[in-house]
């Protein structure tokens, strides 16, 4: 499966502008299109001002694009509903099916935990015969939460990870791929918001921990290929997951 990773410079609190920009970057030909964390607004700690109600404009846009492209579209959005706010990862299929993962590890350093409610469900989505585990930004630092129990093939991580901690981002992406014997497809934003500078670093990492894309700090689309035959063969030849600790 071909995956397009859209490393975008998010316009602060401007959903319509971000949708317009993304529409020009989304082109047919991939099976999956991966967008950054809070792609429609930027990483906002004022969700009362920026979050959309569940099923709002950002989700509608994702559904429209998935149908147009005949591919799944995935990324996170700040949403409101039932009296709280969530950093919600949507995985949208061309037929309009929507799968939801609410970010589990909220970034206390920025106060995310004071404004959003954490999710507690691990989510794996099967699409075109490939199992995708969903994760958002800070989740990447917690290997126990992301431990592969033989239930997924690709870890999808969407992020607003600042330049100041980019070395950690690069290291953790490779570590998660190696220890979970999986592909990692990671989409980080570039540009600036009122608090941080972002230097991209979106990446595709293979199960050996090798980079499949070149590092970049500018807005662009990265293309990567998931080779399931290669992954299955590697797991058979070198069955690391069978020797994992039961924790």
Give me the half-sphere count of Cα atoms (radius 13 Å) on the Cβ side of residue 97: 10
Distances (CA, A) of 21 to 16, 18, 91, 219: 9, 5, 20, 11
- Tell me: pLDDT of 246 over 90: no
pLDDT at 159: 98
* Higher per-residue confidence, 140 vs 54: 140
Does 137 qualify as catalytic in the annotation?
yes
246: Cα separation from own chain's centroid: 27
**Lowest-confidence segment of 53-62, 121-130, 226-235 by average pLDDT:** 53-62
Residue of 52, 93, 103, 196 with catalytic role: 103
Residue of 37, 52, 93, 112 with catalytic role: 37
pLDDT at 27: 98
pLDDT at 20: 98
Q: Are strands 124-127 and 98-102 parallel, antiparallel or unpaired?
A: unpaired
pTM of the model: 0.97
If you count them, how many residues does the chain have? 247
Please give the mean pLDDT across all residues of the chain.
Answer: 97
Q: Taking each helix axis from N to C terminus, what angle separates 57-69 and 15-23, rounded to the nearest 10 degrees?
A: 10
pLDDT at 77: 98
Q: Could you tell me the pLDDT band of residue 206, with boundaries at 50, 70 and 90?
A: very high
Does 187 qualify as catalytic in the annotation?
no
Segment 50-56 mean pLDDT? 89
Segment 179-189 mean pLDDT? 98
Segment 111-121 mean pLDDT? 97
In angstroms, the CA 247 to CA 239 distance is 18
- Tell me: pLDDT of 54 over 90: no
Segment 8-16 mean pLDDT? 97
- Tell me: pLDDT of 195 over 90: yes
- Tell me: pLDDT of 82 over 90: no
Q: What is the pLDDT of residues 129-181, one digit of tens each?
A: 999 999 999 999 999 999 999 999 999 999 999 999 999 999 999 999 999 99
Q: Which helix (H) or strand (E) holds 69?
A: helix 57-69
Q: What percent of the chain has pLDDT over 90?
A: 96
Residue of 52, 63, 112, 137 with catalytic role: 137
- Tell me: pLDDT of 247 over 80: no
Does 236 qualify as catalytic in the annotation?
no
């Amino acid at each position: 499966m071909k995956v397009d990773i859209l490393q975008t410079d998010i316009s602060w609190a401007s959903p319509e502008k971000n949708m317009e920009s993304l529409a020009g970057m989304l082109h047919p030909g991939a099976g999956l299109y991966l967008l950054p964390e809070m792609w429609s607004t930027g990483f906002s700690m004022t969700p009362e001002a920026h979050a959309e109600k569940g099923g709002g404009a950002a989700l509608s846009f994702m559904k429209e694009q998935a149908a147009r492209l005949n591919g799944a579209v995935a990324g996170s959005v700040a949403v409101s509903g039932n009296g709280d706010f969530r950093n919600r990862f949507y995985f949208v299929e061309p037929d309009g099916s929507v799968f939801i993962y609410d970010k589990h590890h909220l970034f206390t350093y920025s106060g995310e935990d004071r404004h959003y409610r954490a999710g507690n469900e691990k989510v794996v989505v099967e699409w075109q015969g490939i199992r995708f585990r969903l994760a958002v930004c800070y989740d990447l630092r917690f290997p126990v939460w992301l431990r592969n129990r033989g239930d997924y093939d690709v870890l999808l991580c969407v992020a607003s990870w600042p330049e100041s901690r980019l070395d950690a981002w690069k290291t953790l992406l490779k570590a998660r791929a190696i220890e979970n014997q999986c592909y990692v497809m990671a989409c980080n934003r570039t540009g600036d918001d009122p608090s941080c500078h972002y230097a991209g670093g979106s990446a595709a990492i293979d199960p050996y921990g090798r980079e499949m894309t070149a590092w970049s700090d500018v807005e662009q689309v990265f293309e990567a290929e998931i080779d399931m035959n290669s992954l299955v063969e590697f797991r058979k030849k070198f069955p690391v997951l069978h020797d994992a600790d039961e924790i």
